[in-house]
Structure 1
């Protein structure tokens, strides 16, 4: 292991959109089997790691991070500690996170921070695990962390952490409509379960095991935005809309003003609108901004966590 003093390493890691998300029946252990198609997008977090005798984290950037934990419960700090324990590294690290991905927005910003931290500390400390060696540690930190490490487009099954790369061609253009209020993932899942219980007669029995529909895989394989718009789906969307009814108005606005389709990303409340090209993205962003909605244009897929300095 190298002496980390006096140098820093900065790593960029992407947020993600759940282009497709199916949720199986509630299991006895309180979890659900899920099947997702993730796409990493160009809205990225940046983590800078510097030598320290302790483990610390601070935040910068345009996102309000007032409510984010900076103690040992923070996912990036947990990632650094896990790597140190796994490799026997005796020091600590001072992390500075430039946040751009919305907090509690269904885009995996915290997971991107953890993935970037693993890569940054592995390089800073000279622990030499590399991407393949870091993947098992990423999986221990949460379902979205391995994907933030890998990037691209991937199918996630099981708890969402069993990843297999999906062939993807071309570039997809998205407009992200951001919300000031977050949605708790456990609360959204609870609302989904309650909705299914209330409407069991109509909805029928939910399958224990779910899979990604072949139509969505074919759409990304050929790079066809129109086909992807037809195939996008999110089982959590109904629950998210019940908890945050304003999202329905937002979806209707985007789809009436040029979006091929809109979808709540993951547990929300970020709404992702798929559009045909960069010009359409710019026009829709303008419409949303004039309506008082914070909106960003992004593209996908992009690569996973990577060193940009150090």
Structure 2
């Protein structure tokens, strides 16, 4: 039996992300929250391959356990392909083969990266040549993090996180990602944040009506200074994630004990991102965490967004 990857196809690599700063507003009338977040794309990638087909289908591989992922039309990558076909009038289908490396429900936008990869791969395979601005609009309809997966680099996200402004970034930041052996529900984490704020309304600062990103974050990113960034890492969702899964507190503490400049729960968790001062320090930290029984991976950022890879 021949290897399908030797047949003509389009291969796209799309990065996962870390939210190095996240300010969450009050719930809006539709139950969602406006946010202000600083995204950084990191060198942990989803590989999306698009093959010509008459119908729409998806299959998964890679080191991540994908047995719980849907493969029907509810899958976000399939939604992306169908949405693009409808937008452009394309009448065929596609078979998507996705090798996953970003943890599922890990707060790193793995599903969004799959969707972004599917959009770019199908647009290239089908030669539909949708303008970049239109592709980003389709991405925004799929989910708040999908446009950033296309753009990559470092960016400020407002609204639901999908209104992007590129942020000038210098140099390379070194992160060690500590992976959990469980996922977390984003809606559950947001609900817990709302309940936490209600319980402690008398003790915590009022929620910003219009969330913003701390200017210190932009200064640190612009300077490429890991020590500066360590001082301003912040995620409003972290308190909720730690309340739901208290064991993440140990990971954060262990990371800092073993040399991390600072740690943060990425997005809605449970992945913990630990910032290091250098590549050497990150490797030492990765080894230390692994010795302690935690699955850890050294990545760098920022990296480019979804890109076609030459076959």
Give the TM-score normalised by the residue count of structure 1: 0.97
Which 10-residue stretch deviates more, 204-213 or 136-145? 204-213
Matched residue, 1:226? 227
C-alpha contact 1:33 1:208 (8 A) present in aligned 2: no
CA deviation map 1:181-202 (0-9, x unaligned): 1010000000000000000111
> Are positions 1:85 and 2:51 aligned together?
no
Matched residue, 2:8? 7
Partners of 1:98 and 1:48 in 2: CA distance: 8
Partners of 2:78 and 2:229 in 1: CA distance: 37
The 1:261–1:204 alpha-carbon spacing in structure 2 relative to 1, beyond 3 Å, is closer
Q: Which runs of 5+ in 1 are unaligned?
A: 1-5
Matched residue, 1:104? 105
Residue 209 of structure 1, CA deviation = 1.1
C-alpha contact 1:122 1:130 (8 A) present in aligned 2: no
Matched ranges for 1:151-300 at <5 A:
151-300=152-301
Give the TM-score normalised by the residue count of structure 2: 0.97
Q: Which runs of 5+ in 2 are unaligned?
A: 1-6
Residue 130 of structure 1, CA deviation = 4.4
Other structure's SS at 1:201 match: coil
Partners of 2:91 and 2:212 in 1: CA distance: 43
> Are positions 1:68 and 2:65 aligned together?
no
Length, aligned pairs only: 305
Other structure's SS at 2:275 match: strand
CA deviation map 1:273-294 (0-9, x unaligned): 0001110010000010011100
Residue 204 of structure 1, CA deviation = 4.2
CA deviation map 1:61-85 (0-9, x unaligned): 0000010010000000000000000
C-alpha contact 1:36 1:156 (8 A) present in aligned 2: yes
C-alpha contact 1:119 1:130 (8 A) present in aligned 2: no
- Aligned-residue RMSD, C-alpha: 0.9
Matched residue, 1:123? 124
Residue 131 of structure 1, CA deviation = 3.0
